[in-house]
Structure formats: structure tokens, C-alpha cells
Structure 1
Amino acid sequence: MPWKLNLSNKKGALAEKSALLFLKQQGLTLLHSNFADKTGEIDLIMLDYSTLVFIEVRSRSHSRFGNAASSIDKIKQQKIRKTAAAYLLKYRQHSHRICRFDAISIDNHDGTGQNSLKWIKSAF
């Protein structure tokens, strides 16, 4: 039985939608969203000219546990790398491309509803 992703997190889906809109405005082209297999899940996979970019989107509404970017720990980075390798095996037409791992951090520390979006290129 194939592995299936459960997308029940509405805040996470909204953050990914905001990140996608922002990145498209920056000139990136979407290839896949929420690519998943047994190794994990990658939120967005995009092309930045000829570079293949694997993007993790994180959002936080409170700062008590740190900012959104700090939640991408070594274990999560390792899962994303393994999932990226699985993606490249499945979509061999991209195996020649230079790859990059970016992060989009969306924080709302002051509770005003005004989010700050930060694009971290080559995050790990």
C-alpha cells in the first residue's frame, strides 16, 4: 500500500499557500507541492532558473518555542534530504540539476495578525 500524506493542518496549508505566492512573485516555478513518500514530505519543489529548490515552510504564531526557522532541526533536515533523494529517483529528468534547500519562515510574534515572511536561501 502506498504511503499517503494527510493535509489536515489548515494553518500549515495557509502558510504554504502564502509561501508559494511569494516565491512565484520572485520568479520561481512550481514543480510539485507536498511531495511525499515513506521517507518524509517536502512542502514545495520549485525551479529557480535551472536550480532545483526543495523548500520547507514553517510558521509560528508564538515565539515561546523560538521562531519558525529554528524549528527545522537536524533530524528534519535529514528527512528532507532523504525525501529529495527519493524525488530525484522518481523524477530522473531533474537528476542533472544543481539542488538547493531553502526555508520559508513565517512568524507572528506580536499577535497583531501581521506575519513576517523570511526566505532563507541555502538554509541547510
Structure 2
Amino acid sequence: MGATRKPRGHDIDQGGHTEELSDWIHRARCKKVLFRRSPRRNLRVEAVLAYTISTAERELHHKQMLRLRRWQQIKEKLTITQRHCQNEEEFYESGHNEQEENVWEAPLCSALSSLDSFMSMLKAIKAPLQR
């Protein structure tokens, strides 16, 4: 029988991969220090540890930079409409009211636009209810 491992909370949602990688790098560095201090040094093990630590550090740095770029893109998308507005009142006066915007006016939604106009015409017709 093989050993099984219970999934931890951050293993399930895959959100903690950078934390796992950081912890692994820390444990590998500690192991490298222990091997260096041992009286019977094994240069092959030290070389393998040094290579894997440097590879893991590059991967961690790459993931951190990707995460930083994604956050910057999200922040830019959220603030692009409010960039020139000084306060909230000016933002709403400039025509960025959610209720006034028609979602169906986009050029990609021509079929949906015709359906929306048909539904609004049906809504305008008020037939008496007969039971």
C-alpha cells in the first residue's frame, strides 16, 4: 500500500501554488545548509540541490511577475473609465450610468439587438387580461 496524502485547503483550489513553491525553496535551502555542514560532504547532492533551488527560484519569480502583471491589467481596466474624473458625481455626469447604458447596442450583438427591440415592442403592447 502506498502512502496517501489528504488534500489541504490550498491544494484543492490551486491558489496556493506560489506559497507551496516558496515553502519548498525554504526547506531545500535548509537541507542544503545541513549537507554543507555535515562531515561527509557529497558534492553531487549539493550540486543537485543548488540547481533545483535556482530553478525553483526562477519559476517563483516568473509566477510572481505574471501575477503582478495581471493585477496591473485588472487595475487598469477598472480605472480606465474613471481616469479623468475627479469625483464620483463627475463620473456619473459624464454618462457612465449603468442604467442608461444599452448593452445591446454593441456591433457584435445585432441579432440580440433585434430580439431586444421585439421584446420591448411586446412590452409596450398592453392587452387586457381575459380569464
TM-score scaled by length of structure 1: 0.26
TM-score scaled by length of structure 2: 0.25
More helix by proportion, 1 or 2?
Answer: 2
Greater relative CO (CA pairs within 8 A, separation 6+):
1
More strand by proportion, 1 or 2?
Answer: 1
Give the greater-gyration-radius structure (CA). Answer: 2
